[in-house]
Structures are given as C-alpha cells and as structure tokens.
Amino acid sequence: MIKTLYFFGAVFLSILLCSCDATPSGKIEQGLRSFQKFNDGVQQAAFSKNKLAPKIEDKDLTPESQFRVNDYDTHTPPSDTTENWRLFVTGLVKHPGYYSLAQIKELQKQVQNSKHVCVEGWSQNIKWGGVALWYFLDWVGADSTAKYIAVECADKYYEGYDMESARHPETLLCYEAFNKPLTLQHGAPCRIVMPTKLGYKSAKWILKLVVTNTKPGGYWEDQGYDWNAGL
C-alpha cells in the first residue's frame, strides 16, 4: 500500500513539474512543497509506535573512538550549556518550569543500542542512555491530547515532532553515550535521540521543550527537508 502511494506521489510530482515553469511566480517550488506535504502524510500514516528500530547487539556497536562528530568541532555552545544547565518545559503541561539534569537522572533510566542515520549518507551504531521521552512527558504532566512538541537548542537549532513519534518507546531524553556522560560535541548535557527518524531530528544541546497543538517547524525542515524524516 505504501509503495503504491509513493508511486502515485511520484506521478503527481511529474505532472506538477511538467505543468509549471521556472518563473518568479514560484510554481515549481509550490509543486515541490505540495509533493513534500504528500510524502510527509505517507510517512505519518506508515509510522507506528509499536514498530521498533532494528535490534543492534553490543558486538555491532561503532567503536567509541570512532563516534563521529558532525559539523561541530571548533565552536562552543552558549553558557547555558554548562553544569548549571536547566531544561525549560512549557506549554500544555501541568508542571511547567526548569528541570535540572540531576532531576532528570532520578527518573527511570533506559539504555539502548540504536543506529544514528545522517541525511548525508553515513550511519553509526551507538549505545545511548537517558529517560524515555514519554516517561518524562508524563512526569511533567503533558496534556495527553496535545499533538506536537517543539525544542530549542543552545546553538539556535530548533526542531519539531509529532506526539506519536515523541512518545515512541525508543525516543530518549538522552544524557549518556557508551555508558558515559555525553561529551559537549555530542550534545551534552542533554539531547533528543530518535532512532526511528533521520539524524537531524535528534537535536543536541536542548534548552527548551514546548508541548503544543500548533505544528512547529524545524531548522532543516524550514529549508525544504522532510518534516517527518522517517526511516
């Protein structure tokens, strides 16, 4: 069924491109965005919180010494990303406010091996540790009917998620990799890890989490990348 939808989507895109021109009216861009919206809809329909990412054994993990840093080797995050870090939670929650790393670490810890897949074409198998995001959301009293989550990061990156993806059992509010605290380069003190999505959904250095019914954008999505970014 999904393959059929992709086929008709490709046909739809071809028709759009054949019927448009490259004038400043932006018709081609409008057509591409229409197809992207269709593609996002297909991905959303195919997503299931009961479908887990492929299991990875410890023997298949990427060596810790080869844990890749992507586009972050010379800069340092703002001063918010320090030992005084707090995650600001707001929006449709019963208990908004600032939460420390120590408070988050008191919650039930989840350790999992999962593949990080970069849109640039490389991937790595990492052992992550943190608290399941669904558990954290329940703990802060997130509205059970809310549709989305938005996060803002210390490096001005921002990202948005549908609630079903945020509550997937493998989505983590992550503070460890390879049984050690995250390094600054890999998103310390806390980041999102979302194995069911492409890597740009796994936002680093998060400072703010908003529970909302308004669909948020994303740093790369606002430049044309898929919003769902499903694997």
Tell me: the pLDDT tens digits for 116-148?
999 888 999 999 999 999 999 999 999 999 999
Task: Report whether pLDDT(231) > 50.
Answer: yes
Task: Report whether pLDDT(12) > 90.
Answer: no
C-alpha span between 147 and 19 (Å, rounded): 36
Query: What is the CB neighbour count within 10 angstroms for residue 153?
Result: 22
Task: Report whether pLDDT(21) > 80.
Answer: no
Which residue, 203, 207, 208, is CA-closest to 219? 203
Confidence of residue 1 (pLDDT cuts 50, 70, 90): very low
pLDDT at position 18:
39
CATH architecture group of domain 49-223 = Alpha-Beta Complex (3.90)
Which residue, 127, 197, 123, 121, is CA-closest to 164? 197
> Would you call 197 helix, strand, or coil by DSSP?
strand
Which residue, 221, 131, 219, is CA-closest to 171? 131
Task: Report whether pLDDT(42) > 70.
Answer: no
Q: Beta strands of the chain (E only): which ranges?
A: 86-91, 97-100, 110-117, 123-132, 148-153, 158-162, 172-177, 180-181, 191-193, 206-212
* Phi/psi of residue 175, nearest 5 degrees: -130, 5
Task: Report whether pLDDT(114) > 90.
Answer: yes
Name residue, tokens 């609630």. Answer: 163
pTM (2 decimals)?
Answer: 0.79
pLDDT at position 44:
54
pLDDT at position 14:
38
Q: Lowest mean pLDDT: which of 2-6, 23-27, 58-62, 196-200?
A: 2-6
Domain boundaries, the chain: 1-46, 49-223
First to last CA, the chain: 17
> Would you call 66 helix, strand, or coil by DSSP?
helix
Task: Report whether pLDDT(102) > 60.
Answer: yes
169 or 77, which is more confident: 169
Average pLDDT, the chain: 82
